[in-house]
Structure 1
Amino acid sequence: MKGKMKKGSWLGLFSLILCFVGFMVSNGAEAAEETTKVMIHRIAFSGESASDVSFNNNGQAIKEEDLMGGRPLEGATFCVYDVSARFYELTEAGTAPQEAQKKISEEADQAVEKNEISQYKKVAEDKTGKDGIVTFELATYHSGTTGKVYLFMETGVPDHVPYKSSNIVVGLPYADIGSDNILHLYPKNQLQIRRPFFYKYGRESTNPAEDKKLAGAEFRVSKEMNGKTYYLHKDMYNNNNAWVEDENDAGILTVISDQNGLVELGDYILPAGIYYFEETKAPAGYEITNESRRVQVEIPANFNQPITVTVGSTTSSMNESKVINIKTPNIPPEEPNEPNEPGEPGQPGVPDGPSPRLPSTAGGTTTPASTRKLPQTGTQQAIGLALLGVLILVTVAGILIKRYQTKGEK
């Protein structure tokens, strides 16, 4: 019938539409859900002494006989953070990929110390099992064909383990993924090396609540060994810290508080031990206190314990630390004495304040300044001139009178 489609034609068209929709949905779901399985193997060593042991993270599983005596560690907590945005921010600014990975790892460690790790985008968290393994299934792509970058951080270890493993920053898709289509990672056992910090404040009043964070304070770092003091040098030796005994060495590292009052070591990392920060220069307008000349920082041997900062008799965590500079007193300059008012003609001026007196000799007397008079030489001269003038006038008048009389007699 005209205007009507045959039943078979409708069924064919409907089937074609279903196939097309199914194809599109299937492809979209595959693209949206493409993931990579990552397996973390946490290997521990007796006493965690083999901290220099590291495995080749080539994405492949390592045979048990090749673990160099290590054993699987159960109960280690790992968190996974999506750091893609930060990684591409650094690389687009010219940072090499490996340097960007290192920087992200260091920034994350500092964020943990400052209780700021919550600002990172956590996408997964889990603990290792009896086999020392924890597995994550993570999105592969960040945007289009640009891969995700993840930070794997061990955030907790069993009580009997003093050290945590080092961070791993990995970019996906991983080229050398294992033959089982799983990315195998082996974190390195890390010595307890941390970055201590504290905060510098300026105090202008007796109210501690009014203290403000202070920039520009300069410190140097020292440690004591065998009764001697050694200072942290700015030049590293074989990628390790260098220490010098000469306190006048021009290469001693100077650490300066930033605009937030933060005093930290930057690229320098310290192992467990006790260190001293000595303030050597205060910001303009402030004075160095005795307490700020010897700020004690203690890094415990156990990663689970916090770093402490001792200022004077007060010990606190790094986030709560306060090293004070006192505002230099603002002493106004002495005002000059007012100039003496001119005295009456013929009288000397009288100086401000009490007149100085010499001690009187035994049996003698002193004459008060108000009774002493100087000779009035100016007045005597004026009188003499006046008398002379009168005498001249009288003489002239006498001469004129005599001439007048002489003319009258003629």
Structure 2
Amino acid sequence: MESGFLDRPRAVYATDPAKSRGRLVAEPKSPTRTDFQRDRDRILHSAAFRRLKHKTQVFVYHEGDHYRTRLTHTLEVAQIARSLARALGLDEDLAETLALAHDLGHTPFGHAGERALDACMAEHEHFDHNAQTLRIVTRLERRYAAFDGLNLTWETLEGLVKHNGPLLNADGSGGEALPFGIAEYAKVQDLELSRYASAEAQAAAIADDIAYNAHDIDDGLRAGLFEIEDLRAVSFLSGLLDEIDTRWPGLDRSRRIHELTRRVITRFVESTIATSRANIAALNPKSVDDIRGAGRPIIGFGAEIAAADTHIKEFLYPQMYRHPWVMEVMGHAETIVKDLFAIYRADNEEMPEEWRDLGDGPARAAADFIAGMTDRYAIQEHKRLFDVTPDLG
């Protein structure tokens, strides 16, 4: 690794906190923290962040202490995002901030909960977890005396909304397809939805993909949904297993799994760094605006790792995410979400008073309340309101 890797200064194309576009509600600068460090700290201290501890990643909260939750996944994404930012000369604090906040809008019970809530909201402008994240940090967190939300910087809000790419066409059209929450906020502040986000936001997004791949392999193996040798169906993983078995023949299963997952992360991170450096050299950006205006992502996988990413997802989809046992549990979870929505939508007095009317109608209020629940609270609420609650065990 080249010298200076661990102590590289911020590049000219990085997002500079000293040049932030500021906050919607003006505040005095902190004497001890940059604006992005302050954003990070507000996210860490938010109620929405604490609730990630008991929200499903793939397995519901009580299935085992060693499986990922939304919180542990988020912390792993943040570590990878910081590593990428450090290697590429980006602002590490902004990359970490975006990683820490990226899943705040997720419902209980993972993607099953989101599917159920979106179906409930089909006649009410739908539900989208990314838009819900923006809604949480700009409105639903009600802690500060001077404003609703967390009053985060423009750069953090931009990164949260656009980390997967522009939401409008280059000419600004396509606004009719914006999810509720993003469309509403666009009336208040222009986040330049037709342009790409900063390199820090792109790094946080790709860190999410890397963490998903490695740790879903780990969790799936430990849950017994598939076996190590099944992974040889993915040539990239088969090659890594050959490396491990050649160097440590007869290694016990637990160490073999860990050696595999750490190699997945390392290869994906190294590919991202090398490919992104090449992209940056070709673009020769002089500012973060050059990154935003590049018309394509700058942070990304190389061709070999992009193919491996596709093949790993193709393996995990039937073997893990659509495994009959997982599907059965998630089906019960969807029933819980739909039942709760029906009750709250019909009688909002079943919700705590502070959630009953936020100005967007009873359906959206019910969706906001349910989306903020942990798995166990959703189960407790269902038991309170219904005689029979599906078994998620």
Normalised-by-shorter TM-score class: under 0.3
Report which structure shows greater RCO (CA 8 Å, sep ≥6). 2
Which has more radius of gyration?
Answer: 1
The TM-score, its normalising length taken from structure 2, stands at 0.24
- Looking at secondary structure, tell me which structure has more helix per residue: 2
